[in-house]
Amino acid sequence: MFKKAKPFFIYTETPTHVGSGSELGYVDLPIQREKHSGFPKIESSGLKGALRSAFKGDESLRENVEHIFGPEDGDLYAGAIGFLDARILLFPIKSARGIFGWITCPYVLSRFKEEISLCDRNELKELEGIETIEPNSIVEGSNLKLQNKGNNNVVILEEYSFKVKSNNKLQQFSEWLADTLFPKSQNGQNDFYSVFREKMKKDIIVISDDDFRDFTEMSTEVITRTRINPGKGTVENGALFNEEYVPENTLFYSLALASMLFIDEAEKEKIKKEEKSKPDEDFILDYFLNGIRKHEIIQIGGNATIGKGIVRIGALDRSDIK
């Protein structure tokens, strides 16, 4: 039984393909999606595997990988950390102004707040009332709004126009999310993410649940790939296929769930060292949070050799990281 949970974000730095296998539709290799909503997701098994691989490659973290993530031989004992499927929070869409904006919807915001409440974060004031934000809400001073006279409350996403209105709760949420996802550097120098931080504060738009579903189904990247015969330099027969990607700048979130360590007391004392008095669940989550601080950039999904699936992992509350 899991005793404690911590949220974290997954932000796609490059197009990402976490596949669901082959299908008979127009996309041969589609991405993973929720069955009931059709929203893109990342299965917890793939997320756990990618994190495990990153941690195992670090000499300072490798010692406890099997104790926390579980042994390679699953019959020995269970892993002490689990993950929820990564759910979508923001999806990037091309805009007539501002290059692109991030879309979300009331259902996604409500679910986000509900799941964060599982982590004893009910005191988080920035999430108060986000479930009441109505469709077509935007932040005051957004870069997405048309500047033509009489049309300054209109946003065009792809070929669709939306008459929008400002919402203070969305502004509060956007500022909190941007500062959390793109924190400023401590010394004030090399602030690599300043452009995206300031953009996210202004360029999130809430649309209806149905519109959000349609955009996330129709506005993913579909790439046609082929295999070349090395001897002839021509396309091999039957080697043409379509592959779907979640676009870069998509934001997912998940929860890391900690239970007890399923090893004997002598082994626990050995791995905890000077932290023997710390409850198992706190030890596990501290290990995880420090691990993602060291390995902020990981690769997940397929096509690693062609630069796909590069994501950035960020903790929701960086004060938790020691």
Euclidean distance between CA atoms 93 and 99, whole angstroms: 9
DSSP state of 127: G
* DSSP line for 25-49: SS-SBPBPB-TTT--BEE-HHHHHH
What range does the domain containing 235 cover?
Answer: 4-320
Asked whether the beta carbons of 175 and 201 are under 8 A apart, the reply is yes
Euclidean distance between CA atoms 96 and 102, whole angstroms: 13
Number of structural domains the chain divides into? 1
For residue 103, what are the contacts with CB-CB under 8 A and spacing of at least 6? 90, 91, 92, 93, 157, 204, 205, 206, 207, 211, 212, 215
Euclidean distance between CA atoms 288 and 272, whole angstroms: 14
DSSP state of 6: E
Q: What is the pLDDT along the chain (322 residues), one digit of tens a residue?
A: 788 999 999 999 999 999 877 665 678 889 999 999 999 999 999 999 999 999 999 998 998 999 999 888 767 788 899 999 999 999 999 999 999 999 999 999 999 999 998 887 655 777 889 999 999 999 999 999 998 766 679 999 999 999 999 999 999 999 999 999 998 865 556 778 889 999 999 999 999 999 999 999 999 999 988 877 777 777 777 678 889 999 999 999 999 999 998 888 888 888 888 777 889 999 999 999 999 999 999 999 989 999 999 999 998 764 443 3
Tell me how far CA of residue 251 lies from CA of 4, 102, 221, 275, in angstroms: 23, 9, 15, 34
Q: What is the pTM of this model?
A: 0.92
Compute the CA torsion angle 65, 70, 74, 78 (nearest 10 deg).
Answer: 160
- Burial of residue 320 (CB within 10 Å: 0-12, 13-18, 19+) is middle
